[in-house]
Structure 1
Amino acid sequence: MIKILMVLVFLASAIGIGFATRATSRSIDGFVLGGRNVGPWMSAFAFGTSYFSAVIFVGYAGQFGWKYGLAATWIGVGNALLGSLLAWWVLGPKTRKATRELDAATMPEFFGKRFGSNALRIASAAIIFVFLVPYTASIYNGLSRLFGMAFGVPYEACVVIMAIATCAYVVLGGYMATVVNDFVQGLVMLFGIAAVIVGVLDGQGGIAQAVQSLAEVSDPSTSLVAPFASLFGPDLPNLLGVVVLTSLGTWGLPQMIQKFYAIKTDSAVQKGAIISTLFALVVAGGSYFLGGFGRLYGDQIERGANGSPVYDSIVPTMLSGLPDILIGLVIVLVLSASMSTLSSLVLTSSSTLTLDLIDRNLVDFKTPERKVACMRALLAVFVAVSAAIALVQHTSSVTFIAQLMSISWGALAGSFLGPFFWGLYAKRVSRAAVWTSFVVGVGLTVGNMILGSFGMPVFASAINCGAAAMVLSLISVPLVSRFTKPADPAAPAQNRQDAPTA
């Protein structure tokens, strides 16, 4: 009863916030960016909660904690310093200024106006649609395992409940409903992570005893003594690849960069950087630190037919012995992480598809109200599509969907990181360089996936492939621009007809 009440109160509050913020979502800037008037606390929490979902807490924490032990905590540290602090410092002020001058509400719109090319705008919107929408389906997976552990609720019911609740508040209140809910959900995540770590370690006799027990776990693949309790773990090169992908990736992901569009002042950016970094240290650092003790549950976790661990089962197994109130808190924590990320993804997808692909290319909406109505409708469609993909993946042997999810970060950030960064900081960037980055980002990650299906991958890990795509994007844009004609950006925008009035 305690667990059920906690979940019901959480869901009711999320939908209530949607009703309370619906007045802010009538214009395009209001629905997509909250009128560009969001403060540092809400912006920072929106960035953090969009960054860390159930995929991190359940999937990645279990997987990388098992592989690297306590050294997996470095992933959380990298997420905080490189993925949050530096991203805010380097991209935040420039992004806020440039997108206001160009009057760009989405990343494809920025590319189209910054490089004076509608083709680049359409291509980037298509890349977002292909790689962002299927990625949303992975958000449901960790949640389903925890719901099954706590309530015995079928996977299908978990997917439907979360999809309906998320759709309700985002359709009602748009971006402001998302960021206000992100703030509430972020508080739940901060408190929940701390409480869960204490509960799990207490069950192992305290932190000193838990570390000692972990130090006694050996690994025949390495000559290291106590590899899973060591500073850098048994496989430092691959650990660094995970740090790069999960940290540098935020610099090129449209749903993350959008948070800088909406923040109201430069001083708010500086405050938001510190708040976001501390949030990431607690949530990401705490999640990976917790996952580092997964080896202590090696005799309890679910294993596949070949005897290898099912990574998504590790964290739920670690939590299964906690008191009911803590399990209820974990459920709300993962609901928070999942719904905040899902809302950010579908809002980005619906706004991009409406403003950058449909409007004027397929349909002339003529009025801002019609554009907002289209975004609301597509948002509901995207939530339904993501739920359907999750259900298909769960009930069939379709592997392509899972592979597409695993490369989405690499494909998106590998395509957009270089053009966006150099588009902010360099005057001489060519359209050819941007196209090159798009081809390299999508081509390398998808090509590696296809070759991998034939047993001939260029990179054995999709994570290392994504990290390489990001680095190549940063290098290729200035290199190609040096030998090709620079693009002419669009003139600074005047007040847009659908912008909110003073």
Structure 2
Amino acid sequence: MAWYLTYTIAYFAVMFAIGFYYFFKVKSSDEYLIANWNMGFWSITGTIISTCAGAAVFIGWVGMGYSVGISGFVKFALPATIFSMILIYFFSKPLRRQRLYTLADLFAERFGARVGLIPSIFSAFVYSVPTAALQIVGMGTLFTMVFGIPHEGAILLSFALILGFTILGGLVATIVTDALQSVIVIVGIVLLFFAAIRFAGGPSAIIANSDAGHLSPFGPDGVTEVLVFALTVGPFYLVWQSIWQRIFASRTEGIAIRAGLTGFAIFTVIALLPYLIGLSAVQFVPQGMRPDLIFSYLTVELLPPALGGIVVVGLLSALMTGADSFILQGSSNLAEDLYRRLFKPQATEAEKMRAARLSVVIISVLSLLVAFLMTDIISAYQWALRISATTLVIPFLAVMFWRRATSKGCASSMLSAIVVTVIWPLVGTGIDPVIPGMLTCLIVLVVVSTMTRHSPQECPRAVYWEDLPTAEKRAKTVPAAEEAAAVV
């Protein structure tokens, strides 16, 4: 217990010291929300690793490796990294040039502020809130299991720590600490991996004693089932705003691409380890143990406290970085897309900073309520992925490549996709709702756009080749010296 407590106190002391440093250093909302578009290679690489390695990696994917084996990696982790790398490689340059804050910012500049409200609401409330709640619950569960804190108190403590750090330094502090936390995450998961493999008797014993279904990359349901699942979950990562923020925050387009691809290449290797840990655990954990408890059981039982404490801090790092990233994602939607764009376009810098920090509080409190009240956050998170993918992916591609897309076509396609995705399970066809949802979105977008004209609020450009006005306007607000400065 002493080792765990010492490591935990030291970890949060360092985190809050960095947070307070940036609380006094950050002077503008651009720095707070988007790191002033000025972060360097290793900062972006580290923050991508840390942001991706949240509660799902440590808790969910270890449990999935225990339950289904290697096929979980092919169904969940691999599609996420592939589609994220597609986003980074093909879209970083045109997106980074626009000097935007959010996905909704892109839609609003292209189609008008009202259309931008739809992705903003989705990003802030449908995705960010339940995802941040999942991190709060994960951290609370860890405090309960390791330190014996009652569940409600552990949830409140987690909320206070996450909110306290996030509100201090914004995205700059988050990215800087993420770069440091990525090392802790990697060390923690590697330690547990080698301990689990050793305790299970080595790779040959694991292979000999495992079911064929656990060892198959496609599991008992075969390649078709895995591919269908991957292609319905993967497209969401084209519109995952946490990665968009890292693209926008990069100092240059080249850094956005190189750091993004490097971060995801490293994460792909890391993402395989939890599944192998879970696969190893089948050999020796008590039968009937809940999959979400496998990680904590292995940490306590297999490692001496001096090493187990490092793994616990690795999990805390993953949960903290996931939570603050998702909270900042939602807060940027509220502060930039709603407050600045709709309510007070001429807000002063002080007003924008107050709005940004107030937005952090709002998203954090909503996440706390979800953590307390919702009984099945995982299902809510999966539905958030589905609805976001069916609603946003096709319009995003239209923004990038099709000048003829209109605001009415975009709005009607998103609303139609929501309806179809939500009601499709009631039809009972067995087809994943993402498929009819995205088809509906595509058909409605094309049909309505060809039947309507661009509104005066639109900027009808194919953003992959043509810049929006923000590209030039916001570039002028960043001093040349600051643009060239190196940020750790």
> Do both share a fold (TM > 0.5)?
yes
- Which segment is superposed worse, 27-36 or 321-330? 321-330
Corresponding residue of 1:305: none
Please point out which of 149, 152, 156 is paired with 1:153.
149
Corresponding residue of 1:91: 91
Corresponding residue of 1:218: none
The answer as to whether partners of 1:38 and 1:263 remain within 8 angstroms in 2 is: yes
Pair 1:406–1:380, CA change in 2 (3 A)? same
Q: For the aligned residues, what is the CA RMSD?
A: 2.9
Pair 1:207–1:152, CA change in 2 (3 A)? farther
- Which segment is superposed worse, 368-377 or 317-326? 317-326
3-state SS of paired residue (2:184): helix
3-state SS of paired residue (1:361): helix
Corresponding residue of 1:3: 4
Corresponding residue of 2:176: 180
Corresponding residue of 2:423: 447
Corresponding residue of 1:338: 319
The answer as to whether partners of 1:255 and 1:345 remain within 8 angstroms in 2 is: yes
Take 2:46 and 2:233, find their aligned partners in 1: how far apart are those partners?
A: 18
Task: Give yes or no for the alignment of 1:136 onto 2:126.
Answer: no
Pair 1:382–1:297, CA change in 2 (3 A)? farther
Task: Give yes or no for the alignment of 1:274 onto 2:275.
Answer: no
1:70-469 alignment runs, 5 A limit: 70-75=70-75, 78-79=78-79, 81-97=81-97, 99-100=98-99, 104-115=100-111, 117-131=112-126, 132-215=128-211, 226-236=212-222, 237-296=224-283, 299-302=286-289, 310-323=290-303, 324-359=305-340, 361-362=342-343, 366-393=347-374, 398=375, 403-448=379-424, 451=426, 457=428, 459=430, 464-466=432-434, 469=437
Take 2:41 and 2:428, find their aligned partners in 1: how far apart are those partners?
A: 43
Pair 1:196–1:190, CA change in 2 (3 A)? same
Identity of aligned residues (%): 22
Take 1:26 and 1:498, find their aligned partners in 2: how far apart are those partners?
A: 18
1:292 aligned partner, one-letter code:
L
Pair 1:79–1:26, CA change in 2 (3 A)? farther
Take 1:31 and 1:364, find their aligned partners in 2: how far apart are those partners?
A: 18
The answer as to whether partners of 1:57 and 1:334 remain within 8 angstroms in 2 is: yes
1:132-177 Cα distance to aligned partner (Å, 9 max, x none): 2133211233333433332223233332333222222322211100
3-state SS of paired residue (1:62): helix
Corresponding residue of 2:57: 56
Q: Which runs of 5+ in 2 are unaligned?
A: 461-467, 481-488
1:475-494 alignment runs, 5 A limit: 477=445, 481=449, 484-485=452-453, 488-489=458-459, 492-493=469-470
Take 1:258 and 1:425, find their aligned partners in 2: how far apart are those partners?
A: 21
> Post-superposition, which runs of at least 4 consecutive aligned residues in structure 1 deviate over 6 A?
none
3-state SS of paired residue (2:68): helix
3-state SS of paired residue (2:301): coil
TM-score by length of 1: 0.83
Take 2:183 and 2:132, find their aligned partners in 1: how far apart are those partners?
A: 23
CA shift for structure 1 position 379: 0.5
Q: Give the length in aligned residue pairs.
A: 466
Pair 1:68–1:238, CA change in 2 (3 A)? farther
Take 2:35 and 2:70, find their aligned partners in 1: how far apart are those partners?
A: 40
Corresponding residue of 1:39: 40
CA shift for structure 1 position 76: 6.3
2:124 aligned partner, one-letter code:
F
Corresponding residue of 1:12: 13
CA shift for structure 1 position 459: 4.7
1:5-45 Cα distance to aligned partner (Å, 9 max, x none): 11111111111111222355321211111110111222233
Q: Which runs of 5+ in 1 are unaligned?
A: 216-225, 303-309
1:315 aligned partner, one-letter code:
F
CA shift for structure 1 position 66: 4.2
The answer as to whether partners of 1:73 and 1:289 remain within 8 angstroms in 2 is: no
